[in-house]
Amino acid sequence: GIIQYRILEIEFMKIKDKKIFDIIDELGSRYNIFTHNQFINYYLLDSTIPKNDWMDIDDMINSNNTYEEEGYDLDRLYTQILAFTSFLTIIKEEIWPRIQNEAHRRMDKMTSDSRLLYKMTLDNTPSNIKTFNSLIIDLFINVKRVDKTKNGEEHALFKKLNFIKIIQERLNS
């Protein structure tokens, strides 16, 4: 009956795709380096990024650990992409401007080595943001591609999710 249908529906939403695996792998590597930067981390800890977004991003970048056995949950991937776009929006609108505004004052108090590392962070953050944005766009396009292939154009999951427009708006900003 209904339970059997739900199990089939859940199984139906599992996907495996090498391109998605590779994008998540790259995203995870870059994300870990970025968030572990001492200067970026200082601002991240004080940011308005919701705890659920942190957990969704963490789940996504660690999902490759169980990929071979389980694949990806299509519904979760869309939610995780939404969380990552939220993370990027806060980086662009809140954290990056704050880093720029406080740069001179903070660098005045640093040793020359720390100042050099901070300057490198300032120089690299815009390109990191662009790279994250490109990777998330690529991931979103590929998840939609697999969704359409698996579920058909008419029944694609992304057409039923009300937050897809939010993802698109954030990725285009």
Concatenate the DSSP letters of all residues of 40-56 into one string.
HHHHHHTS---HHHHHH
Give the model's pLDDT for residue 66: 85
Mean pLDDT on 41-68: 93
Q: What is the largest CA-CA distance in the chain?
A: 69
The amino acid occupying position 172 is: N
Confidence of residue 69 (pLDDT cuts 50, 70, 90): confident
d(CA 101, CA 96): 9
Confidence of residue 13 (pLDDT cuts 50, 70, 90): confident
How high is the mean pLDDT of the chain? 91
Mean pLDDT on 72-100: 96
Give the model's pLDDT for residue 26: 98
**Structure pTM?**
0.89
d(CA 60, CA 62): 5
Q: Is 160 exposed, middle or buried (0-12, 13-18, 19+ CB in 10 A)?
A: exposed
**What number of other Cβ atoms are within 10 A of residue 151's Cβ?**
18
Give the model's pLDDT for residue 12: 54
Give the model's pLDDT for residue 5: 45
Q: Is 125 or 8 the better-scoring residue by pLDDT?
A: 125
Closest CA to 23 of 145, 125, 162, 169: 145
Alpha helices in 37-162 (DSSP H): 38-45, 51-62, 67-70, 74-90, 96-108, 112-151
| Four-CA torsion 143, 44, 107, 129, nearest 10 degrees | 10
